[in-house]
């Protein structure tokens, strides 16, 4: 299913060189990137890429240098034309746009943030920020309105007071804030960011990531973000695509990729990842036995025996966690005992909590941590040894 505003790529291929159509046949016959180059002198930029970039989400593209990330991104506003394939936006084939429609698409619906800021050195911060708005403005009133909008975005990225300064007077991080303000000011729904934060110091970079995350929770733009940095990808990406030699090796959530790398290449990327910061309680929980507070201790004992779990959680009438029981506690209880009265308190964690933050909770109790959904209903349990095993695991790619 594709929704309004989704970007859909179908078998997009880009071959660089003098006769790409002929080289395409060699490629389709199965030549590798190296073979194609050796045999025909052509370079594969992007190879049969099919994917959907969902509207309002942040889609991250990762891969080694030369794997085709920038080439892929530049297709999305047709700075590069594919050798073959289709690119749809809102269900329309952008490759069919005439020059007028293409100009409007680029100006009104997309904006780009570059690694090296690409600001105009002779324009002030305010003029740089208003640049995309000026392109659209038809009269002086519209230009004035553009200044007000630009001013608003300068404030949003934390640069109030610097409006009249020139890029040469700013630090790298500040320049990139101007780049971001300029991209946001036009209200374009598609934000294309090619290594936008890579030139920044680690701390400033982290600041910019936080700022983008904060803005995005409110703005819900469609962001395509390219990075070499796995931590950045995992922080920003709702979905992550890993590219290799022009092709997509895997697309998925950060959690998918870390838990189930599709290939050796992907496995190498995630080798050193801090799993505790990526994997969530919800993704690695085990099934739990949940009993109602009005059940009899004997019935609960029977259920515990039937399954390999030594613990049952008690839920109250609203389905919320009221405590935990084990066999010893149940055996000691009389037939009419109230389960709530004999249950012990148990730590709980929301499903979205990352394991790094769940682990300390296991110190509070010998019972496994109860994993809850956003309404407080019990989704499952997470024993301490399971958390440790997940943190220590090294994911291997599937064989074959
Ligand atoms: N204009 C061009 N002419 C010829 N080949 C090109 C051109 N642009 C890119 N390529 C080739 O296409 C492939 C992909 O390049 P691209 O710039 O997309 O890589 P990238 O993943 O963005 O790398 P990096 O991380 O270094 O920016 C490379 O092999 C490159 O040599
Ligand atoms: Mg690049």
The residue ranges of every structural domain in the chain are 53-278, 282-390
The region, left, alpha or beta by phi > 0 then psi within -120 to 50, assigned to residue 376 is: left
Q: Is 317 exposed, middle or buried (0-12, 13-18, 19+ CB in 10 A)?
A: exposed
- The closest of 348, 230, 209 to 278, measured between CA atoms, is 230
Mean predicted lDDT score pLDDT of the chain: 90
Please tell me if the CB atom of residue 128 comes closer than 6 angstroms to any atom of ligand 1: no
Tell me what the mean pLDDT of segment 389-395 comes to.
Answer: 81
Residue 397 has pLDDT above 70, yes or no: no
User: Cβ(236)–Cβ(213) under 8 Å?
Assistant: yes
Architecture of the 282-390 domain: Roll (3.10)
Q: Does domain 53-278 have CATH number 3.40.50.300?
A: yes
Which SS3 state, helix, strand or coil, does residue 16 take?
strand
Please tell me if the CB atom of residue 350 comes closer than 6 angstroms to any atom of ligand 1: no
pLDDT of 207 reads 86
Please tell me if the CB atom of residue 71 comes closer than 6 angstroms to any atom of ligand 1: yes
Place 246 in a pLDDT band, splitting at 50, 70 and 90: very high
pLDDT of 83 reads 96
pLDDT in tens, 4-57: 889 999 999 999 999 999 999 999 999 999 999 999 999 999 999 999 999 999
pLDDT of 2 reads 67
Nearest CA to ligand 1 atom 2: 16
Residue 203 has pLDDT above 90, yes or no: no
pTM of the full structure: 0.84
Q: How far is 15 from 255, CA to CA, in rounded Å?
A: 32
User: Cβ(175)–Cβ(167) under 8 Å?
Assistant: yes
Place 166 in a pLDDT band, splitting at 50, 70 and 90: very high
User: Cβ(150)–Cβ(130) under 8 Å?
Assistant: yes
Nearest CA to ligand 1 atom 3: 16
Residue whose token pair is 């294309």? 192
pLDDT of 318 reads 85
pLDDT in tens, 90-144: 889 999 999 999 999 998 899 988 877 688 999 999 999 999 888 888 888 888 8
Residue 309 has pLDDT above 80, yes or no: no
Pairing assessment for the beta strands 369-372 and 378-382 based on DSSP bridges: antiparallel
Q: How far is 224 from 215, CA to CA, in rounded Å?
A: 15
pLDDT of 134 reads 86
Nearest CA to ligand 1 atom 29: 66
Tell me what the mean pLDDT of segment 68-83 comes to.
Answer: 95
């Amino acid at each position: 299913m594709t929704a309004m505003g989704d970007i859909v790529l179908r078998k997009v291929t880009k071959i660089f060189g003098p006769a790409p159509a002929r080289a395409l046949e060699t490629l389709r016959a199965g030549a590798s990137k190296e073979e194609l180059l050796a045999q025909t002198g052509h370079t594969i930029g992007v190879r049969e890429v099919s994917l959907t970039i969902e509207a309002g989400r942040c889609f991250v593209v990762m891969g080694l240098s030369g794997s085709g990330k920038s080439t892929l991104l530049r297709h999305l506003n047709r700075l590069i034309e594919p050798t073959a394939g289709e690119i749809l936006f809102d269900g329309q084939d952008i490759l069919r746009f005439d020059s007028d429609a293409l100009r409007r698409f680029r100006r009104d619906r997309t904006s780009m943030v570059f690694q090296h800021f690409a600001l105009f050195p002779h324009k002030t911060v305010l003029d740089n920020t208003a640049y995309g708005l000026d392109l659209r403005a038809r009269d002086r009133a519209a230009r004035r309105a553009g200044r007000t909008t630009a001013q608003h975005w300068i404030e949003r990225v934390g640069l109030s007071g610097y409006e009249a300064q020139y890029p040469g007077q700013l630090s790298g991080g500040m320049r990139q804030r101007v780049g971001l303000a300029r991209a946001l000011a036009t209200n374009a729904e598609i934000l294309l960011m090619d290594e936008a934060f890579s030139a920044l110091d680690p701390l400033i970079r982290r600041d910019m990531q936080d700022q983008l995350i904060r803005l995005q929770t409110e703005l819900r733009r469609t962001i395509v973000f390219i990075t070499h940095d796995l931590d950045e990808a995992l922080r920003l990406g709702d979905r992550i695509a890993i590219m290799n030699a022009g092709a997509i090796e895997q697309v998925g959530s950060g959690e998918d990729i870390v838990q189930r790398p599709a290939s050796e290449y992907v496995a190498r990327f995630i080798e050193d990842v801090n799993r505790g910061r990526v994997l969530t309680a919800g993704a690695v929980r085990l099934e739990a036995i949940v009993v109602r507070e009005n059940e009899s201790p004997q019935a609960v004992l029977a259920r515990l025996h039937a399954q390999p779990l030594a613990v049952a959680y008690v839920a109250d009438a609203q389905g919320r966690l009221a405590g935990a029981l084990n066999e010893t506690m149940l055996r000691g209880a009389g037939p009419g005992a109230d389960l709530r009265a004999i249950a012990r308190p148990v730590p709980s964690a929301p499903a979205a909590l990352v394991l790094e933050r769940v682990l300390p909770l296991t110190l509070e109790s010998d019972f496994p941590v109860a994993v809850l959904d956003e309404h407080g209903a019990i989704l499952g349990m997470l024993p301490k040894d399971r958390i440790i095993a997940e943190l220590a695991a090294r994911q291997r790619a599937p064989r074959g």
